[in-house]
Structure 1
Amino acid sequence: MPSSALPWYLKGILYVALPAACLAALYLSIPGEVALAKTAGWSEHYAPAMPVCLSVYALSAGAIATYRRKMRLPGQMTALLGSLMALILAMSAQSISHLIEQSYMTTSALLVVAVSCVPPLTIAHLVHMAETPSQVKTADEEKAELRGMIDYLSEELTTSLASQSLTLVSRASAVVRELESLTKVTEEASEKVEKESESVEDILTGEEKAQHDEESKTRRKHLALARSIQETRESLEARGTTVTVADVCKALGISQATYYRYKPSEKVTASTLPLPA
């Protein structure tokens, strides 16, 4: 990346050559402007002030015009016209004084009046340029304007924050209401589930009870049938006859499969064995 620093020779021109050229130009303009002042009627004591008047006027007008242009202040054209007029006066003074000195022209009443008007016109224009323009704000005015801007921004920020806070509060209230609604629905669902659970539990309890009753009834039935088989077999044996399974089944009206399924648990005697086919 190229450096933005000025080369040494440009710095030399800015800080040495330009001031030297300005001083040389001012020095060269002194004799002509002094001679013109003497021609207009000023004495040897006052005539040397003419170069100072014109040179300072030209420098002041140029500097003020440049400053106002950079700062975008009013009065730029006035200062620029003043600096141009000062340069024109300086050039005219040199030219006229040299023309008179070389006998190309002579003095006149108009020339005397024009040269005599240079100092008061210079003072008037310098005073006019030195005035602070009405558009330029003082430090107090800038502070007041800045304070007003800060107050305005603070008010706007407060209003915006209040609006956002109200919006957030409204949304939070809506969320709370929705949460309460969901909580209510959840409680109702829990109660319903609890009731359903109790109902299912009651149903299961009833089924278990019925199953238990059925098992008890079947067990009692089995015991009663086994007791009937035992009593029938003992009754037939008491008659003194040979008792077979077929006899017991015939007496009770059951099948042999039922007999073997529900017979007593004690050991069956040989006399009660089924007869061969």
Structure 2
Amino acid sequence: MSTVSVDLPWFARATRKFGAPAAFAAALIMSVPGEIHLAEVAGWSGDFAKLMPVCVSVYAASAAVMADVARRFDLPGRKSAQVGAVLALILAILAQDISHLIQLNYMNSSAVLVAAVSAIPGLVVAHLLHMGRGPRETAIEVEAPDVPESDEDQEDGQLSLIDMKTGEAKPRRGKRGRPAVAPEVIEAAAKELQARGEKVTGAALGEALGLSRRTGARYLRKVATTAAETG
């Protein structure tokens, strides 16, 4: 599968860079009064009630991100994380609706409502602890078979691709890798250059081996390292 570079128009880039974060911040700010009011209805007061937006809207956003990461990287508990993220979103929506209905006298508080709102912090803690069971790093480790080293690929600074679904290495098309040169062959080429009175450089060694000068320099470093260890 090849990749293409898409040049987005300026307004699309601006929307992605500035519009989405601005809308996200505005939505969080607008949710604050209703969630604080709902906390006050449930019996919290003062600074404690001001923490309810963190337990509802910020929690819903965090749960959505963590559930998406769990799905992408196949982390433990991904299904329950996704269910919890959906429930967190529903909770954030209902908190606004119920608060505004109470403020406009369309409904009154009740024991059931107070009990449900009072349970929010505990449920948030339990769900976040559940979703936090995954590894600290999100990188996937796969076992890939050994593939022949390609000097052309290293010249371009490119590596073979790894299929993240199967864990199999996929060499790039159109370039066949060359087998690595044995250390004794490299040493023999270096000694031959010295015998001819030539200076052993990466370029000279690469030319003697029929490889690129960068590969020759890399092999020269290997020879020097081996000599230092044995000497």
| Residue 137 (structure 1) shift | 9.9
The RMSD of aligned alpha carbons is 2.7
Q: TM-score, normalised by structure 2?
A: 0.56
Paired position in structure 1 for 2:134: 132
Paired position in structure 1 for 2:84: 82
Where 2:46 maps in the other structure, the secondary structure is coil
Q: Distance in 2 between matches of 1:38 and 1:138?
A: 39
Q: Call closer, same or farther: CA 1:55–1:10 in 2, change over 3 Å.
A: same
Query: Where do 4+ consecutive residues of structure 1 move more than 4 Å?
Result: 136-139
5 Å-filtered alignment, 1:1-277, equals 3-132=5-134
Cα displacement string for residues 166-202 of structure 1 (whole angstroms, at most 9, x for unaligned residues): xxxxxxxxxxxxxxxxxxxxxxxxxxxxxxxxxxxxx
Tell me the amino acid that sits aligned with residue 121 of structure 1. L
Tell me the amino acid that sits aligned with residue 98 of structure 1. H
Q: Call closer, same or farther: CA 1:42–1:24 in 2, change over 3 Å.
A: same
Kindly tell me the number of residue pairs found equivalent between the two proteins: 142
For structure 2, the residue ranges without an aligned partner over 5 or more in a row are: 147-231
Q: Distance in 2 between matches of 1:74 and 1:5?
A: 37
| Residue 58 (structure 1) shift | 0.9
Cα displacement string for residues 31-63 of structure 1 (whole angstroms, at most 9, x for unaligned residues): 110000000000122101001111221111111
Q: TM-score, normalised by structure 1?
A: 0.47
Larger radius of gyration: 1
Q: Call closer, same or farther: CA 1:117–1:9 in 2, change over 3 Å.
A: same
More helix by share: 1
| Residue 3 (structure 1) shift | 4.5
Q: Distance in 1 between matches of 2:138 and 2:52?
A: 36
Identity %: 49
Q: Distance in 1 between matches of 2:137 and 2:40?
A: 45
For structure 1, the residue ranges without an aligned partner over 5 or more in a row are: 151-277
Cα displacement string for residues 73-104 of structure 1 (whole angstroms, at most 9, x for unaligned residues): 33222222122111111111111111111111
